Chain A
Amino acid sequence: MELAGDEKRIRALFSELSFEDQICAPRFERLWNGAENRHSGGTARARRFRTSAAVIAFGVACFVAACVLAIWSWSATSTKSPVQNVANVVPQVTPEVPTPAGRDANNPPVRPRSHAGRKQNIKQTVARHRSTEWAATQVETLSRWQSPTSILMASPTGVVFNSLPQLNESAEELKQFLPKNEAMKESNQ
């Protein structure tokens, strides 16, 4: 394409600009070496970052493992201690109403198919009976219990305080509830 006159002149202006730029252009080697230095520095920095990241990750993993171990050991001890506590405490058995023929009304026993199962079922039944008998004995003992100082609390008029006159009783019988002075006065009248 043939360039018009104006275009040639514009090109000349740009050529002049290009000439000036070439004078002040930096050397290729300087920029390339600078870029290489930045690249190697960046690579070293990236390597350092990777190393530190690996160290941090290892530390975090160790911390997590220690936490898991601590939680596991704590849970193990906490599950053991209640058993030990229970061993020291007298079992409190609530009295059960014995079901007919020793059977549980809600959960009827499943007939075991194997010999071992049957044996185990018998053992369970015997243990349940024993515990029921023991509970009944305990209840009886507790109901009969009396304080040893209760006799000191008793008084001679305790019978009077503990009894009330009945409505259908005769007047003569009612007089015994009155004090003696009052009874004399009444008899004089």
Chain B
Amino acid sequence: MQISDLKPELEKLHEASYGWALHCCRRNHAQAEEVLQTVYLKILQGKACYRSESSVKTWLFAVIRKTASSERRKHLFEALKSMAGVRSGIRQPDQPDAELERSEMQQRFQRVLMHLPVRQRETLHLVFYQDLSLSEAAEVMNVSVGTARQHYERGKKRLRELLDREGIDYGVGWRRKENSGAVL
């Protein structure tokens, strides 16, 4: 697929891509932006090439996940270098303004999410946030559908427990945006 054909698709998926990038970067907005721009750069350079083997969304999310992972490793290396006394340009994990803007409930929910293992968190995000089916989530995460289902079930159970323990009243007072899409 040509870049001129792919660009409208990317534009359509931009917000969802940003949400996924944000999740992959542990809610760090600056890093998420950088990752997303790097993904677009990879597409322009032809390093990430869509071959119509899956949906554009699945392919794009897989590229974002991989790029975020490599960026995270790079930042970790830079952090290690800065610990060793070498000057580095690593960014701060989160902007305080954005943190203040969020509601208290959302902050607590995000803290709860951070207590989940990475794979479980990813599965829940892809299913509940991005409205993907389990097979699509498995494709993005590069695991089998069975494994993805296992992560999904365990993650859901653990999240429920943590929400109950935190006492987050997630039934009332939320601006709901119901997603009618099936899980699988």
Contacts and interface: CB of A to CB of B under 8 A. Distances in A.
B174 A38 contact: no
Contacts of A21: 15, 18-19, 22
Contacts of B102: 20
Contact of B41 (A6, A12, A38): A38
Given A12-B176, A19-B175, A25 B14 contact: yes
B148 interface: no
B15 A25 contact: yes
B11 interface: yes
Contact of B177 (A9, A15, A38): A15
Contacts of B118: none
A18 B40 contact: no
Nearest to B164: A6
Contact of A17 (B101, B109, B156): B109
B178 A13 contact: no
B37 A34 contact: yes
A114 B124 CA distance: 101
Contacts of B174: 12-13, 15-16
A26 B33 contact: yes
B150 interface: no
Interface in B27-61: 29, 33, 36-38, 40-41, 43-45
A22 B129 CA distance: 12
Interface residues of B, number: 44
Given A13-B109, A28-B10, A19 B177 contact: yes
B184 A10 contact: no
B156 A35 contact: no
A3 B15 CA distance: 25
B141 interface: no
Given A17-B129, A35-B37, A24 B124 contact: no
Contacts of A16: 106, 109, 174-177
Given A3-B183, A42-B45, A18 B129 contact: yes
A103 interface: no
A123 B98 CA distance: 108
Given A3-B183, A24-B29, A26-B33, A17 B106 contact: yes
Interface in A1-49: 1, 3, 6-22, 24-26, 28, 31-32, 34-36, 38-39, 42
B102 to A, nearest CB: 6
Interface string A105-131: 000000000000000000000000000
A31 B170 contact: no
Interface string A39-61: 10010000000000000000000
A24 B98 contact: yes
B37 A14 contact: no
A34 to B, nearest CB: 5
A142 B160 CA distance: 121
Nearest to A34: B37
A148 B63 CA distance: 107
A32 B183 CA distance: 32
Contacts of A19: 175, 177
8 contacts: A6-B160, A12-B178, A15-B129, A21-B22, A24-B29, A24-B101, A25-B15, A26-B18
Given A12-B178, A32-B11, 5 more contacts: A18-B19, A21-B22, A26-B18, A32-B10, A36-B44
Interface of A: 1, 3, 6-22, 24-26, 28, 31-32, 34-36, 38-39, 42
